[in-house]
A and B are shown apart, each in its own frame.
Chain A
Amino acid sequence: MTALLNRIKARMTIHAHRRTRRLLDGDYSSVFHGHSLDFDDLRDYIPGDEIRDIDWKATARHSSPLVKRYVAHRRHILALVVDTSCNFDAVTSAGVDKRQLAILMAGMAGYLAVRHGDDVMLIHGNAQRTTASRRKGSEAHLEHLLQQILAEAGTEADGSINEQLQWIASHINHRMLVVVISDQAPLGPKEEATIKRLRAQHEVLWITITDANLAELPTASVPHDVSRPSVGLPTSVMANPRVRAEFLAAEAGRRQFRIDLLAKLGISHTEIAHPNQALDNLHTLLLRHRRGPR
């Protein structure tokens, strides 16, 4: 039953250098600024404090005894927001399955949270329907969530990440770490407003799974749009130099627009096309978030 999660764990163990994995744990812990460390600060000893809480080294450098103060450990919540529409039954720009990559990214982030003792919940769906799971901190729960993403394969509904974000805005009151896994669907003013609204309440991280480069598809492939399986796309026309140039220019423009928009809203963002980049990109994403938006 834990097939998906086991594979993700194996990938994190095998492919990642040990140091990197530890780094990742640290990255995750530091996402919640100021709240993530068990140790908070030192204060003067008052009678009644636990003797084992006395920080002897600090006391030695001070005139009066000092005790370590610990933050009461709070269980954080990681919300995985995943677009599971038919758009994810397509391939990425590296030619791998988008849904599998989304599962990998969700699984990695979720595993870090579970290891950290946090709860994980999944908000997924398409333009018509949004489904939210319960929040729990077990690996079995995480596996169940990943299976839900997989089970949406073959749906015919179109995607709209805005729906899922709206759901969070209207249903969740407490602070969460929100990891959004979306694709290259354009972000408009509607999305901008929703993201801005969420940003005020939550920590938001954004993972973009890049869509196939339509101008450079292999000529032998018979491409079609997922929403219209019976209609092929003409590779000969799409590879036409003028069409290709215009497409690449438009793509670059859209990409820059997304990056600029998310940067403006103060949201850490990374793009991913292949499972090989998963660990590095996740690390980069968490690091960026810790350093704060620039």
Chain B
Amino acid sequence: MVLMFWWLALILLVLGGAAVFYFRRPRGTASSLAVAHSGRMTSLPSFRRAMRAKLITTAAFLGVIVLTGLSTLVGIARPAWIETVNPEKKLRDVMLCLDVSGSMLGYDADLLEAYQELVDRFDGERIGMTVFNSTAVSAFPLTDDYDMVQNYLAEAEEGFRTWGSEGTDYSWSTSPPNIGGSSLIGDGLVSCIDNFDRQDEDRSRSVVFATDNMLAGDPLFELDEATNIAVDSKVRVYSLSPPSVLTNTQTKELKSVSDRTGGKQFDMGSSSTIDRIVAEIQSQEAENTPGRSYTIVHDMPAVPLVIAVFGLAGVFVLAWRTKS
């Protein structure tokens, strides 16, 4: 809460004070009437009562005038609520990229649970999800409607937990019979990258790429080519692989993809994975997207002006009462 034109109120206050000072009634001493033994009057109980009543009335009158004046000045000073909006986070896009091939089916429900936790941590970023097997399907586009995102993720999780009998089943839609092979990793990654919209805007883009990298078939894009496309599109790839006892070739490949695109590779097993992913994404994006903050001014004149109007009415009433 700030006063936009506080100087105007200050000037008016000084002017008002000067006006009161110059136009105040002079104290009459020269032409006044001297009387003796005023104690005859001032010691009377009724006189004291009347004086107290007059004092209270005068104080109330003065209070109303001061209140009215102050609230008018406050109204003139344009009270406003200034909000500084930092749009930094809104320039971030995160694409959740999920491999739903047969080898991953055992992990997908847990992954989706992890995704839901991930989404909880985000604030302002746009989230989208693409699932892929032999072909990629956009589960939902990039959005900041987190309620919808949670709904979709929960339904997808349920679908994987019940093997498609309830919730959303992505297995069928991602493996059409006319396309051979499964788990076409490179194609999936390119599809995910391709699902980023607003290409003309300078946004920070990340992919959380959950796959075991078990390629079966003949993809259109090798993982290497897909990585090049990611680097060209300035998309960071944070890869998330199922827990494995040993660091195998597939995991190493994923790590190289992440390293080349500026992301990181994580194992799903460790409990701090989600924290680390969120921290990583947010710290990196903060560097990459300096916010262009802007200010919104909400004027709030209602309260002081309403007080001023009622106070003015009160002043008139009291002036009339005093006069009569």
Contacts and interface: CB of A to CB of B under 8 A. Distances in A.
Interface of A: 86-91, 98, 183-185, 211-212, 214-215, 217, 221-226, 229-230, 232-234, 236-238, 240, 242-243, 246-247, 250-251, 254
Contacts of B32: 221-224, 232
Interface in B51-72: 51, 54
B54 A223 contact: no
A237 B34 contact: no
A184 B40 CA distance: 10
Contacts, number: 98
A95 B45 CA distance: 26
B33 A250 contact: no
Given A98-B36, A184-B37, A250-B40, 13 more contacts: A87-B37, A88-B36, A91-B34, A222-B28, A225-B34, A230-B27, A232-B28, A237-B50, A237-B54, A246-B44, A246-B47, A247-B40, A254-B40
B34 A224 contact: yes
8 contacts: A86-B36, A89-B36, A211-B40, A215-B41, A222-B31, A240-B50, A243-B44, A250-B44
B271 interface: no
A42 B271 CA distance: 148
Interface residues of B, number: 21
Specify the main secondary structure of chain A where it touches its partner. Answer: mixed
Contacts of B41: 214-215, 233, 238, 243, 247
Contact of B35 (A212, A243, A246): A212
A234 B35 CA distance: 13
Contacts of B44: 243, 246-247, 250
Kindly name the residue among A237, A242, A246, A254 whose own CB sees the greatest number of chain B CB atoms within 10 A: A237
A225 B38 contact: yes
Contacts of A91: 33-35
Contacts of B33: 91, 212, 217, 221-224
A50 B27 CA distance: 77
B29 interface: yes
A34 B46 CA distance: 52
B51 A224 contact: no
A85 to B, nearest CB: 9
Given A233-B41, A243-B44, A246-B46, A226 B51 contact: no
Kindly name the residue among B27, B34, B35 whose own CB sees the greatest number of chain A CB atoms within 10 A: B35
Contacts of B29: 222, 224, 229-230
Contacts of A88: 36
Nearest to B32: A222
